[in-house]
């Protein structure tokens, strides 16, 4: 049974994201590698949550990092939205008909791999079964929405690369840390007048990533 609080949060962010929806002007292959991800909201255990997955720690460009389901555009995809649906089914076994599409966000660029990542948002039917791909997904976690709205859940981390140090925003929940391009996508949703919290606390060790 859905709690009133959880449903209110889902309704709130659905309205926000539908109103902000961005129509993707797809990047040409010759400029940047185009990619797409799905930010999926759902309700589990009477809580509003966001679905994230951890990339395998032993292989890949973003080893061990928390990410949204998604990946590079293929020639058969047509539009980037189709890429997001295809990759979500390939990585998490979630069919298109289990997702209610809300809209798109502004793209972000990964620093290391130089992908231009277009985020799409939507509602995941809570009855949908998630079946992670063993080759592409180490684990799946559903983060409470409050992870991204409460400033007490935010952290400042240091990215050291090529002799430079950058301070980056991150989110922490039960020992799991979300940062990089994924955190920048989340900030588009939750760093707004509609999302409020307290003061940021804590600092994490230096890490290297995208």
The structural domains of the chain, ordered by start, are 4-145 (3.90.79.10)
115 or 28: which carries more pLDDT confidence? 115
From 179, 176, 178, select the one nearest 167 (Cα to Cα).
Answer: 179
Across the range 196-201, mean pLDDT stands at 46
In the chain, pLDDT over 90 holds for what percent of residues? 60
Q: How confident is the model at residue 24 (pLDDT cuts 50, 70, 90)?
A: low
* Residue that wins the pLDDT comparison between 180 and 165: 180
How far apart CA 47 and CA 142 sit, in angstroms, is: 10
The pLDDT of residue 49? 98
Looking at the predicted structure, is the pLDDT value of residue 170 above 80? Answer: yes
Residues 6+ apart with CB under 8 A from 104: 21, 22, 23, 24, 81, 118, 119, 120, 121
As a whole number of angstroms, the distance between CA 171 and CA 35 comes to 23
Q: Which of 176, 82, 183 is nearest to 138 (CA)?
A: 176
Provide Rg for the chain, Cα atoms: 16
d(CA 124, CA 71): 19
pLDDT at 38 over 60: yes
User: What's the pLDDT band for 19 if we cut at 50, 70, 90?
Assistant: very high
- How many residues in the chain? 210
């Amino acid at each position: 049974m859905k709690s009133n609080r959880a449903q209110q949060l889902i309704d709130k962010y659905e309205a926000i994201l539908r109103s902000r929806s961005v129509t993707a002007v797809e990047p040409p292959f010759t400029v940047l590698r185009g990619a797409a991800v799905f930010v999926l909201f759902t309700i589990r255990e009477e809580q509003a949550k966001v679905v994230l997955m951890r990339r395998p720690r032993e292989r890949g460009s973003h080893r061990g990092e928390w990410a949204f389901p998604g990946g590079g555009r293929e020639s058969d995809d047509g539009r980037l939205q189709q890429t997001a649906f295809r990759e979500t089914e390939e990585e998490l076994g979630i069919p298109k008909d289990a997702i209610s599409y809300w809209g798109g966000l502004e793209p972000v660029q990964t620093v290391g791999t130089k992908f231009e990542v277009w985020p799409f948002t939507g509602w995941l039917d809570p009855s949908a079964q998630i079946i992670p791909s063993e080759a592409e997904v180490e684990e799946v976690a559903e983060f409470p929405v409050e992870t991204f709205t409460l400033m007490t859940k935010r952290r400042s981390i240091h990215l050291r690369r090529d002799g430079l140090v950058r301070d980056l925003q991150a989110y922490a929940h039960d020992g799991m840390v979300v940062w990089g391009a994924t955190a920048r996508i989340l900030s588009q949703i939750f760093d707004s007048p509609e999302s409020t919290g307290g003061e940021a606390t804590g600092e994490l060790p230096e890490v290297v990533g995208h």
